Structure 1
Amino acid sequence: MQAFVLVQTEVGKALLIAELIRQLPGVLTAEDVLGPYDVVVRVEAADGTELPGVVKQIQRVSGITRTLTCQVAAH
């Protein structure tokens, strides 16, 4: 199961936070971007019960102000 996590950060911290998030288990990619969100993260978990734990790890990174998780639809 995969999801995108859209992350808003404190001003000027997007690059650092993206680098920190890349090191977390379950994270496939983390890119700093322009727009209403500062970092876009793609995560993977074995199933729906593990996905919240992966997202909570991201939310604990210092400097994050808000996240929005978008689960990838199964095909």
Structure 2
Amino acid sequence: MVKAYILLTSAIGRVKDVFDRLKGLKNVKTVSIVTGPYDLIVLVEAEDLSTLTNTVVEEIREIEGVVDTNTAIIVQ
């Protein structure tokens, strides 16, 4: 099992829409709207690194309103 925090920046006015879409994704375990340099923090759990990569690149980054992501893979 591979886990990672995705630090996500959304377009202005789209945080709630992105939040709702993220909650529906299979490998997304938690989604939090936060203050600071990022708008949302997402915990993703996947079977392997390839699945994690696909979740970020092909699902999360394709959501309308997602501007940028920064992935922090949990190592311990």
TM-score if structure 2 supplies the norm length?
A: 0.91
The ranges of structure 1 where at least 4 consecutive aligned residues each deviate by more than 6 angstroms after the TM superposition are none
For 1:64 and 1:49, the matched residues in 2 are separated by 21
Give unpaired runs (5+ residues) of structure 2.
none
Question: Which whole-Å deviations, capped at 9, do the CAs of 1:17-53 have from their partners, x for residues lacking one?
Answer: 1111010110001111111000100001001121101
For 1:51 and 1:19, the matched residues in 2 are separated by 20
Partner of 1:34: helix, strand, or coil?
A: coil
Query: Any conservation in 2 of the 1:8–1:67 contact (CA below 8 Å)?
Result: yes
- Counterpart of 2:66 in structure 1 is 64
Which aligned pairs between 1:25-64 and structure 2 lie closer than 5 A? 25-56=26-57, 57-64=59-66
- Counterpart of 1:20 in structure 2 is 21
- Displacement of 1:55: 0.8
Give unpaired runs (5+ residues) of structure 1.
none
Q: Which amino acid in structure 1 is aligned with residue 68 of structure 2?
A: R
For 2:15 and 2:33, the matched residues in 1 are separated by 6
Q: Which amino acid in structure 1 is aligned with residue 43 of structure 2?
A: R
Query: What is the root-mean-square deviation in Å for CA atoms of aligned residues?
Result: 0.9
How many equivalent residue pairs?
74
Q: Which amino acid in structure 1 is aligned with residue 72 of structure 2?
A: C
